Structure 1
Amino acid sequence: MNLNKKKKQAYTFFQNRQLQEARKLYTEITRKAPKDADAWFFLSIIHGQMGTLPEAEHCCRQTLALQPNAHAAWDNLGLALMMQGRANEAAPCFQKSIQINPRNEKAYAKLGNLLREQGHPVDARKHFNKALEINPNYAEAHNNLGNLLQEQCKFKEALEHYQTAARLVPNYIEAHFNIGTIQQSLGNYESAIEHYHEAHRLRPEFSAPIAGVANIYEKQGEFEAAYKELEPLLKLPVPPSNAAITFANFAKHLDKKDQAINSLNKALSNNQNPPTQIQDMHYALGDLHNANKTYDQAFEHYQKGNQLRPFNFDINIHHAQFEAIKQTFSAENIANIATSPEQNEQAVFILGMPRSGTSLVEQILSAHSQLYGAGELEYMGEILNSLPQRFSHPQGYPGVMSKLSSEDLGQLATEYLGRLNALAPGTPRISDKMPHNFLSLGLISRMLPKAKIIHCKRDPIDTCLSIYFHNFNANHPYANNQKNLATYYHSYVDLMQHWLKVLDIPILEVEYEQLVQDQENQSQRLIEFCGLEWDEKCLQFHKQKRTVTTPSYDQVRQPMYTSSMQRWKRYEKHIPELIAELSK
């Protein structure tokens, strides 16, 4: 077969996704014609799709040595470097591609993805928006923007972009998978499973959808069903990382912790794992070793997981944000801020630091027949994000508060309550347990003056250590560093003390340690604060069928226990910086 026929045959294999055959032929072509840039280019794509990333990188460099202005080759080189965890080398490749072709939407989208993974969400979104400005029908940019929005917990907006991507490219596997993850986050499990199955149908070797289905079963407490989904994947010589991670989440319920540790260690041996999955596996191993009481090994994995998180915590921006809130709602200024006429008492806000007992409090409350636990709602965050455009105030919250009239605040209250009531129409009380609503208490107090506020408190070291041990997203940039954690915690305490001094909205403080040691009295205190009659079911909160999707979902399925108190002492030798900073 002459060279041209080989190239045609190789391209046919490539189009038909017969990657092994295409790789073999293109490799032969590059050996016989080492200056054939097209052959090197297609070989780079094939290696990238097969996951042989060093070879993909080599082929891209060969292409560019022959054609330095081949912008698509710069794109592919950047992608190969990025997937090898070499983000700093990848960024200039995408920038070079844009320099060569300023209308290259693919380079903008890929650079946006890199910036997202590096923890620069604002810049990432600018690049995704630019890609979609160039080509509104670019499905990959919609999908990648959806990923960014999902990380920011803007689930409905993310879902719109994923659905657009799937509509533009009906066989877009990643879009169907991502729709599944969003629908799962929103509690729409039937739709989630439908899209997971569609993604798996389109690519049977794609393990993530199966892990997604298993995760839904796990969240519902159906551990045997979850294991049955994963078992074929776990039996592979090197299990897929997503299957091993999902298994780790429920292995203790089946007395399979050691098997889960073994599966994760095998999965870690795959040097093609992206950094985010390596990070997830270290957190999962930390949890398993913690459950096995091998605390030194647990901390080693938690620390590795945190070191892999590319969060950027700007302490100056942080302090400025908290100070602006306190100044806006100072004792002198607060009298000049309008108040909504809304007198509805339906909303119950459960807030505080993450990992402070908010899920436990909501689970107790939601056992009451007159209270619906809605979980961590994004509604207040969405209202805050809408303020600059809605009221023509570039700074938004808290600066916009001086511009809001009583009618404006009433409109915001009506909007919030409408969405809240739609979750459980006619229910006397509905709880919103988004922990960081403590930042918005000033607005809440003026928007919903009859709302009930439950502030959850827990031992500072236990709280911060629990955050450090949890794989939080980029909305918590303080979470991966002990000193930053302490800084954020001090600011939170200071702000809550400020609210208690200046706000006239009812705030009940509940200490986790008192709650777990004196369950009945503290539970009665909670119910009384919400203006409800006592219900004995609140003492059996763990027997509810309600699905909990927050990090504490497993704990609230169990009866009250005290083993999380003073947990930090098991790790005391590993956290001297955290202890010292919190004691200041």
Structure 2
Amino acid sequence: MSDAHQVRLAQGATLERQGRIPEAVVLYQSVVAERPELGDVWYDLGRLLRRMRRLDDALAAYDQALAQGARDPQEIHLNRAVIFAEDLNRPDAAETELKTALALSPAYAPARLNLGNLYEDAGRRDEARQAYEAVLAAEPSHGTALARLAGVQATATPDDPLIGRLRSALAATPEGLEQADLGFALGRILDAAGDYDAAFHAYAAANQASAALARAKGVVYDPAKAEALVDRLIAATPAPVAALEDDDPAAAPIFICGMFRSGSTLVERILGGHSGVRAGGELDLLPTLAANVFNPFPEALGVFDDASRRKIRDVYLNAVRERVPGVGVVTDKRPDNILYIGLAKTLFPKARIIHTVRNPIDNALSVFFLHLSYDMAYALDLEHAAHWTAQERRLAAHWKSVWPDDVHEVDYDDLVARGEPAVRDLVQACGLAWEPSVMDFHQRQGPVRTASVWQVREPLYARASGRWKNYAPHLDDLRAALNRYGLARYGLDG
């Protein structure tokens, strides 16, 4: 490789560190145009193209990396699998890539873990368990594999051997991400075994470990900033707009939002059984557009003309067609879609909005019991979870006031208690005709890529409602916070 090529690659690496990805891509492309045999450069190009959401180009770059003998081909197949699974909703192709990676390197734990996760998404519990056990057979101290193994445990008893294994692993694991994973897994299996006091203490310790990692990354939930964000979103709400002349009402998505763990996956799973609906899953299109097109967001929403709206709308629709092929209205389900309803209604004036809610004390516990992304830093502290719940509901009430006919609230506790009548209300709110098949959601095949992967494979049940009662002795501070934020009217003493 010439000095000039090395200089360009060094410049590209610097640009990547600075977040200037398109410029880095141009430099890498210039190098492989002149030296196509540089497989490792093709690999770096593939990574960056994926970050730009140029998925087909990323896959093609990875193909070239393999053809040109790049290092660690098993890692390239893993990266291709991630694109297929997470971006293109093609789990079969992802499975093929992961198995190819394991054929090249049978001890490659990341591929085995991803394969287990893929099996979990598909509801293939036994195969997921086998994948995690295979990692542990090769590396008995692999904490992530042990935590995942506990996660696919359907039931537990107080003397379950996994409890002892998790405690031993925790004692031997230094502070870090793996310790947090193990702590949340221990809490989960203790909860399943009915040892609620021990479970709560395990969850609390896991959240403390996770919070320490978040602080080290500069991530801390700031209630004042959360309130300011909601204030900005409300103040910058664009006036309702008319549909564009070439708008197809049938193309307007159904946007599903709400607190994480408030029933949004269940709602999408139900709607996905309708012949006129395609379940899109957790699409990242609205936040990506907000970050890359509207500067500053949300204030820039009010200055876009019809030509700009049309162009951005088509970008969204083209991305949906790439990821969710077929005919029918697409559901775009992300809890944080609540932040982007103004954008959604600007692009799609006919869009329906489904906002999911749940008893806030159960909801707060549910997020506290999961190892979530640091984007949801409120989940690390029960009082912060109560605060964000209040802000999220304040924002939802605002959207409802602006678009009263298009925003429909689904209460998870009411949904599981009433069953079909509540589902009929949901279907009608989406402008759909009733089809009995929507009630068969628990029997439906297809991946579920959220923490509700196992729950939505069961019929409607109410046992998650009132779960907080198992933990009542530990919830005085949460009760006080809910009262402080005006959320104490939800039957917490029932």
Range class of TM-score, shorter chain:
0.7 to 0.9
2:185 alignment partner, SS class = helix
Superposition map of 1:29-108 within 5 A: none
The residue number in structure 2 matching 1:440 is: 340
Tell me, in whole angstroms, the C-alpha distance in 2 between the residues paired with 1:496 and 1:317: 18
Superposition map of 1:445-524 within 5 A: 445-503=345-403, 506-524=406-424
Which residue identity lines up with residue 18 of structure 2 in the other structure? K
8 Å contact from structure 1 (residues 248, 257) kept in 2: no
8 Å contact from structure 1 (residues 234, 244) kept in 2: yes
State the shift of 1:312 in Å.
Answer: 2.2
Which residue identity lines up with residue 456 of structure 2 in the other structure? V
Q: How many residues align?
A: 455
The residue number in structure 1 matching 2:230 is: 322
State the shift of 1:182 in Å.
Answer: 4.3
The residue number in structure 2 matching 1:280 is: 181
The residue number in structure 1 matching 2:286 is: 380
Q: Could you tell me the percent identity over the aligned residues?
A: 26
State the shift of 1:360 in Å.
Answer: 0.8
1:198-232 deviations in whole A, cap 9, x for unaligned?
54455443323222222222322222333333444
State the shift of 1:494 in Å.
Answer: 1.0
- 2:163 aligned with 1:261: yes
8 Å contact from structure 2 (residues 158, 190) kept in 1: no
Describe the shift of the 1:210–1:287 C-alpha distance in structure 2 as closer, same or farther (beyond 3 A).
same
Describe the shift of the 1:557–1:158 C-alpha distance in structure 2 as closer, same or farther (beyond 3 A).
farther
Which residue identity lines up with residue 405 of structure 1 in the other structure? D
The residue number in structure 1 matching 2:196 is: 295
Which residue identity lines up with residue 376 of structure 1 in the other structure? E
Shifted more, 307-316 versus 546-555: the winner is: 307-316
State the shift of 1:544 in Å.
Answer: 0.4
- For the pair shown, the structure with the greater C-alpha radius of gyration is 1
- 2:439 aligned with 1:539: yes
Tell me, in whole angstroms, the C-alpha distance in 1 between the residues paired with 2:57 and 2:114: 18
Which residue identity lines up with residue 192 of structure 1 in the other structure? A
The residue number in structure 1 matching 2:250 is: 345
Superposition map of 1:63-462 within 5 A: 126=18, 163=62, 169-171=70-72, 173-186=74-87, 187-235=89-137, 238-252=140-154, 258-271=160-173, 275-309=176-210, 310=214, 311-329=219-237, 334=239, 340-341=244-245, 342-346=247-251, 347-388=253-294, 394-395=295-296, 397-423=297-323, 427-462=327-362
State the shift of 1:456 in Å.
Answer: 0.9
State the shift of 1:559 in Å.
Answer: 1.0
8 Å contact from structure 1 (residues 208, 243) kept in 2: no
Describe the shift of the 1:227–1:315 C-alpha distance in structure 2 as closer, same or farther (beyond 3 A).
closer
2:140 alignment partner, SS class = coil
Describe the shift of the 1:246–1:520 C-alpha distance in structure 2 as closer, same or farther (beyond 3 A).
same
Tell me, in whole angstroms, the C-alpha distance in 2 between the residues paired with 1:352 and 1:517: 19
1:425-471 deviations in whole A, cap 9, x for unaligned?
55332211112111111122222111111111111111122111111
The residue number in structure 2 matching 1:91 is: none
Instruction: Tell which has more relative contact order, 1 or 2 (C-alpha 8 A, sep 6+).
Output: 2
8 Å contact from structure 1 (residues 442, 503) kept in 2: no
Which residue identity lines up with residue 291 of structure 2 in the other structure? N
State the shift of 1:185 in Å.
Answer: 2.6
State the shift of 1:364 in Å.
Answer: 1.2
Unpaired segments ≥5 residues, structure 2: 1-7, 32-38, 485-494
Which residue identity lines up with residue 483 of structure 2 in the other structure? S
State the shift of 1:349 in Å.
Answer: 1.2
1:21-72 deviations in whole A, cap 9, x for unaligned?
xxxxxxxxxxxxxxxxxxxxxxxxxxxxxxxxxxxxxxxxxxxxxxxxxxxx
8 Å contact from structure 1 (residues 251, 257) kept in 2: no
8 Å contact from structure 1 (residues 143, 175) kept in 2: no
> What's the TM-score, normalizing by structure 2?
0.80
State the shift of 1:274 in Å.
Answer: 7.2
1:514 alignment partner, SS class = helix
2:254 alignment partner, SS class = strand
